[in-house]
Structure 1
Amino acid sequence: MEALNPFQLLAVLIIPVLFAITVHEAAHGWVASRLGDQTALMLGRVTFNPIKHVDLVGTLIVPLATFFLVGFLFGWAKPVPVDWRRLRHPRRDMALVAIAGPGANLLMALFWGVMVKLGVLLLPVSQWIALPMIYMGAAGILINVFLMVLNLLPLLPLDGGRVVNAVLPPRVALQYSRLEPFGLIILLLLLISGLLGAILIPLVIEAVNLLPGSAIVRELFFV
């Protein structure tokens, strides 16, 4: 497989990124609605329509800037509103709502892995059909695993931070929650310093290796 130039890579990332963000956020809202909080549902956020989840800065400007400036795709979507007071078991349910997003990314990574496998099978038949499936599938695996691993970091307001906050003793959780206003700043500092990549990339590679299509992802993105 030939390596992609930055513009080709950006082209094959667009659809997987939109679905990764959209389904991730919709999963939060859907699980919250199942557990008693209809806020996201009433606001139309339990949907696969990406427009409902796109943040101008976090989903468009920052990812494009970081991609072309540092070769690292970084961004965020509008968070799905969850009213913990409406959940049946607030602390437990907040953890379940949080983990739904990375769980959705894992399922999508598996879907894109199957897409890569199908593309490889179709290569002898038609490269015009097979190659887009392989490249886009590999990009889909990578972006979904990246988002899953990133969001599982134990830092508020990321999903991993929500889970940690839910399982900590209440007094400790209160102190921990006070770090949330600084979470995005900490992430940006980690990104600029290179520490975020140093933390995430080994974890992403290990996770990708467990999925179908991992050999193609390694060949295209990690060589």
Structure 2
Amino acid sequence: MISIPYLICSLLSFIPAIVCHEAMHGFAAYKLGDPTAKRAGRLSFNPLKHIDPFGTVIMPLLLMAMNMPVFGYAKPVPYNPAYFKDPKKGDLIVGLAGPAANLVLAIFGALVFTVMSFVLPVNQLAQNQLFYYFYTMFLPMFSLINLYLMFFNLLPIPPLDGSSIFAFILPRKYLPTYYKVQQYAFPIFMIVIIVVPYILKFNPIGIYLDFTAGNVFDFLFSFGK
């Protein structure tokens, strides 16, 4: 059964993670000359502007209930590569801006954790329940969820951010076919990552996230132990 503190910390970690992720996509596109995201109101840090009912709410709750790594997605930020001087390069920069934002947030959470571990010993933190949960539960969860989102989105599967790397190195003549595949790849992928672990008792995405996000997390939080 999911505890109330765990649920609260998960939501307070996940929502800022996806909001910053999507806002940075839009901000990168805007700095490259594309006003599409700004006109759509997607440069905002207001969560309501970015929430996708399934990807932001239902899927993370399902993953929590299944004891799987918590990740998800928000509504994709609209942008138009035609505004970029170099569409392929611009698409790559916009694609990597979201994961980069999550990495910065994860490092920030680890820095706060490390500073608190030196300034306030755990036995002193235990005297204040709010600070105790903030230190022992929220900060590690905040960084880990941001790392999960970062590495999940770096998978080279359309329309995840990692696919922008694939598109960058793909010859231009294959791009039209690639963009057609995009609209079918993601729904199939989402079904697979939720259904496969139950049917085959094998979770490739969980293994991947443990190896990538898990190891980076261990490194970031090793300084405060």
Q: Same fold (TM over 0.5)?
A: yes
Equivalent residue for 1:51, pick from 45, 48, 52: 48
* Distance verdict in 2 for CA 1:139–1:84, change over 3 Å: same
Equivalent residue for 1:191, pick from 180, 190, 194: 194
The residue type paired with residue 80 of structure 1 is: V
Does 1:173 find its partner at 2:170? no
User: What is the number of residues matched between the two proteins?
Assistant: 213
The residue type paired with residue 54 of structure 2 is: V
* Distance verdict in 2 for CA 1:74–1:147, change over 3 Å: closer
> Shift of residue 44 of structure 1?
1.2
Equivalent residue for 1:64, pick from 61, 65, 68: 61
1:157 is matched with 159
Residues 115-162 of structure 1, C-alpha deviation per residue, up to 9 Å, x if partnerless?
212332323544325323322110111000000000111111000012
Q: Percent identity?
A: 31
**Whole-angstrom distance in 2 between the partners of 1:202 and 1:113:** 18
* Distance verdict in 2 for CA 1:150–1:195, change over 3 Å: same
The residue type paired with residue 190 of structure 2 is: L
The answer as to whether partners of 1:145 and 1:208 remain within 8 angstroms in 2 is yes
Consecutive unaligned residues of structure 2, counting only runs of 5 or more, are: 197-202
* Distance verdict in 2 for CA 1:67–1:191, change over 3 Å: same
**Whole-angstrom distance in 1 between the partners of 2:61 and 2:2:** 15
2:132 is matched with 131
> Shift of residue 98 of structure 1?
0.4
173-182 vs 84-93, which moves further: 173-182
> Shift of residue 80 of structure 1?
0.3
TM-score (norm. length: structure 2): 0.86
**Whole-angstrom distance in 2 between the partners of 1:214 and 1:17:** 22
> Shift of residue 13 of structure 1?
1.4
1:85 is matched with 82
> Shift of residue 16 of structure 1?
1.4
1:32 is matched with 29
* Distance verdict in 2 for CA 1:70–1:184, change over 3 Å: farther
* Distance verdict in 2 for CA 1:12–1:214, change over 3 Å: farther
Residue 209 of structure 1 aligns to a residue in which SS?
helix
The answer as to whether partners of 1:119 and 1:130 remain within 8 angstroms in 2 is no
**Whole-angstrom distance in 2 between the partners of 1:146 and 1:6:** 21
* Distance verdict in 2 for CA 1:62–1:47, change over 3 Å: same
Provide the aligned C-alpha RMSD in A. Answer: 2.2
> Shift of residue 26 of structure 1?
0.5
Residue 178 of structure 1 aligns to a residue in which SS?
helix
TM-score (norm. length: structure 1): 0.86
Consecutive unaligned residues of structure 1, counting only runs of 5 or more, are: none
The residue type paired with residue 35 of structure 2 is: Q
2:8 is matched with 11
2:120 is matched with 122
**Whole-angstrom distance in 2 between the partners of 1:207 and 1:174:** 36
